[in-house]
């Protein structure tokens, strides 16, 4: 049975178990981006994200903080344009070059891993689970003990688009609480509640079959810090487990916990469609 949630469908089994019947995975995808024309100029922040270095927002931060040099000169003007074939761009003294082979991965994130590239306190990061031939980084964050779908890429623009709030990309979670979640709270979660950082947008919220009233499926499109946990904690519930079962159309179907696989070409296309690319 498929449950229809707004713009996409998620199998009920995916919500219940997080793992559905294994499906044959197609070959991984490597997108070859278009090579620039010799005379083409582009904004420096766009160029930095094409280098797989960061999102455009982060690129702006790097520029404003004097970390970016073009042909030996520090630039702090956000609108600066460069010619990718002629200009030499450095970030923190290291030359950056455009990435032509983009990599798109999905991980079934295990518990007790953090979604930063490195951790000065020595905690295990998701990067220790990734064995890619190019450096990739997580698209958004999951809490240390949240499990499930985590996308990774070296395509800064793609990541930036997916995370942009205006695209309202839906993320589905299976929440396991210590106690039964009351009907009136489900209703309020659906309508939106007031958290410290503002009102939550209306969400799709369901009691999941077989979960004794303690397992809830919730779909949100906002990406606020610890949002799902905070939504339940708002009513005094303790969240025992939080599993992201889908990011847009991408699920962990057939992917064991802790494992990573390349997205198929079709999956990348579907994600791009969500952001109008």
- Contacts to ligand URA by CB under 6 A: 142-143, 146, 226-229, 242
Least distance from ligand URA to the Cβ atom of residue 33, Å? 30
User: Which is the catalytic residue, given 119, 143, 243, 253?
Assistant: 143
Nearer to ligand URA, 31 or 226 (CB): 226
**Count of C-beta atoms within a 10 Å radius of residue 273:** 11
Least distance from ligand URA to the Cβ atom of residue 5, Å? 17
**How deeply is 231 buried, as exposed, middle or buried, from its count of CB atoms within 10 A (0-12, 13-18, 19+)?**
buried
Nearer to ligand URA, 43 or 144 (CB): 144
Nearer to ligand URA, 41 or 227 (CB): 227
**How deeply is 238 buried, as exposed, middle or buried, from its count of CB atoms within 10 A (0-12, 13-18, 19+)?**
exposed
Nearer to ligand URA, 84 or 138 (CB): 138
**How deeply is 243 buried, as exposed, middle or buried, from its count of CB atoms within 10 A (0-12, 13-18, 19+)?**
buried
Q: Is residue 112 flagged as an active site residue?
A: no
Question: Of 189, 184, 114, whose CA–CA distance to 146 is shortest?
Answer: 114
Least distance from ligand URA to the Cβ atom of residue 157, Å? 23
CA distances from 90 to 8, 76, 95 (A): 42, 13, 4
Catalytic residues: 143
């Amino acid at each position: 049975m498929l449950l229809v949630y707004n713009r996409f469908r998620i199998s009920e089994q995916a919500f219940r178990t997080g793992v559905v019947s294994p499906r044959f995975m197609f070959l991984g995808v490597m997108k070859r981006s278009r090579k620039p024309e010799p005379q083409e100029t582009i904004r420096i922040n766009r160029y930095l994200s094409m280098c797989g270095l960061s999102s455009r927002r982060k690129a702006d931060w790097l520029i404003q903080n004097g970390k970016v040099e073009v042909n030996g000169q520090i630039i702090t003007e956000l609108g600066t344009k460069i010619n990718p074939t002629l200009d030499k761009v450095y970030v923190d003294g290291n030359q950056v070059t455009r990435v032509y082979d983009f990599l798109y991965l999905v991980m079934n994130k295990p518990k007790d891993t953090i979604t930063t590239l490195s951790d000065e306190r020595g905690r295990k990061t998701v990067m220790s689970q990734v064995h890619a031939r190019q450096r990739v980084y997580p698209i958004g964050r999951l809490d240390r003990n949240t499990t499930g779908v985590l996308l990774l890429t070296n395509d800064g623009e793609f990541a930036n688009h997916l995370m942009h709030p205006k695209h309202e990309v839906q993320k589905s979670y299976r929440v396991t609480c210590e106690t039964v979640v009351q009907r009136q709270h489900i209703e309020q979660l659906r309508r939106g509640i007031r958290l410290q950082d503002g009102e939550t947008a209306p969400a799709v919220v369901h009691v999941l079959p077989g979960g004794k009233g303690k397992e809830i499926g919730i779909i949100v499109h906002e990406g606020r810090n610890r949002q799902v946990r905070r939504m339940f904690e708002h009513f005094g519930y303790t969240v025992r487990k939080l599993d992201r079962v889908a990011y847009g159309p991408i699920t962990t179907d057939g992917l064991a916990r802790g494992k990573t696989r390349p997205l198929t070409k079709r999956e990348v296309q579907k994600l791009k469609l969500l952001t109008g690319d």
